[in-house]
Amino acid sequence: MSTSSLPDIVYMLIFFFMITTSMRDVELKVKTALPKASEIAKLEKKALVSSIYIGPPRDAKLGTESRIQLNDQFARPEDIADWVLQEREARNEADRPLLTTALKVHKETRMGIVTDVKQELRKVGAFRINYTTLKGSALEN
Amino acid sequence: MAKKTPEINSSSQADIAFLLLCFFLMTTAMDVDYGITRRLPPPVEQNVDDVKVKERNVMNVLINKNNKLMINGRPSDISLLKEEAKHFMTPRPSDETAPEVETKSIEMLGDVLMSKGVISLQNDRGTSYAMYISVQNELARAFNELKEEMAWRHFHKHLDQLNEDQTKAIGEAVPVRVSEAEPVEK
């Protein structure tokens, strides 16, 4: 059997994956089992989305209390303002008003920390937010 | 006779390509994110007098730290929330206890009866995020159903079959009026 066309086939697969996917941006340090919702919209334009992760740490030694993760590290609510400014700086000027903050929050997290994050976002003027969820019935949560 | 050009051994090319493929498979994330999109209100200025809203125009939804729901002071359940919200937001001009109504003329729809009702959502710091999302979702579902009904009444089409202008008109006629209470200072 001739295998001379095998590399070409595999290269085609590579190109397919290169085009359809985006690089995984961060290493998750917190668990984010998302809640379910039905009235959801697709998050368009991934380049204009920056994510805040909130959930209990994966490392059991750090306890079970939910923590905030920005980029690659744990953060406090006070750090969010600076982070938003950095995220804005990284986009070109025309895109900045369209920047959306996706909140990827573990379902068992208490609302206190989420409220703090939302208040910080309001202070710095990042009004567009998205509660990232899975598809499903919200009554099952 | 011309010398034969030596051929490069290409038998390992497939292996190299496979390695590259594995690399891309591992480093990429294919998942598409879905979610509920909301717009946060701008921060409130200090010392601004509260805007007085008539009591009949407000539906209070409260979630306590045990994830129990209260609607206008009565204990309720998440499975009833959508119907309650829909009933509250449906304009009923003859009902004295229902929110006030106003008539607004909107392009493509003509004169439309609009409810002045607002749904006020308040949660505790101890409420679980899953419950909060459920409540947000049920409220969104109530508004989407109202929009769907209006789309059917005016255009005889489902909400997702409308064109851009029609969607905008419906959005204007049924605004999503969910306001979140300012958090109480810790």
Residue A3 counted as domain residue: no
Residue A8 counted as domain residue: no
Q: Establish whether this prediction's ipTM goes over 0.85.
A: no
At A23 the pLDDT is: 64
Q: How many domains does chain A have?
A: 1
Listed residue (A44, A54, A41, A53) closest to A135, CA to CA: A41
E strand or H helix at B25, and its extent?
A: helix B13-27
Residues of chain A in contact with residue B13, where contact means CB-CB under 8 angstroms, are 7
Residues of chain A in contact with residue B36, where contact means CB-CB under 8 angstroms, are 37, 39-41, 130-131, 133
Nearest to B128 among A18, A108, A130 (CB): A108
Please say whether the beta carbons of B78 and B127 come within 8 A: no
Domain containing B150 equals: 55-180
Mean pLDDT for B65-73 is 89
Determine whether the interchain pair A10/B14 forms a contact, defined as Cβ–Cβ distance below 8 Å: yes
Residue B42 counted as domain residue: no
Question: Minimal Cα–Cα distance from B64 to chain A, Å?
Answer: 11
B154 pLDDT higher than 80: yes
Residue B165 counted as domain residue: yes
Determine whether the interchain pair A41/B28 forms a contact, defined as Cβ–Cβ distance below 8 Å: no
Residue B22 counted as domain residue: no
* pTM attached to this predicted model: 0.81
Residue A111 counted as domain residue: yes
Residues of chain A in contact with residue B30, where contact means CB-CB under 8 angstroms, are 20-21
Which residue in this structure is represented by tokens 């397919």?
A16
At B49 the pLDDT is: 62
> Which of A116-120, B1-5, B81-85 comes out lowest in average pLDDT?
B1-5
- CB neighbours (10 Å) of residue B146? 20
Domain containing A97 equals: 24-140
At A11 the pLDDT is: 84
Q: How many domains does chain B have?
A: 1
At B10 the pLDDT is: 77
Q: Which residues of chain A have pLDDT under 70?
A: 22-25
At B1 the pLDDT is: 59
At A106 the pLDDT is: 93
Mean pLDDT for B72-77 is 89
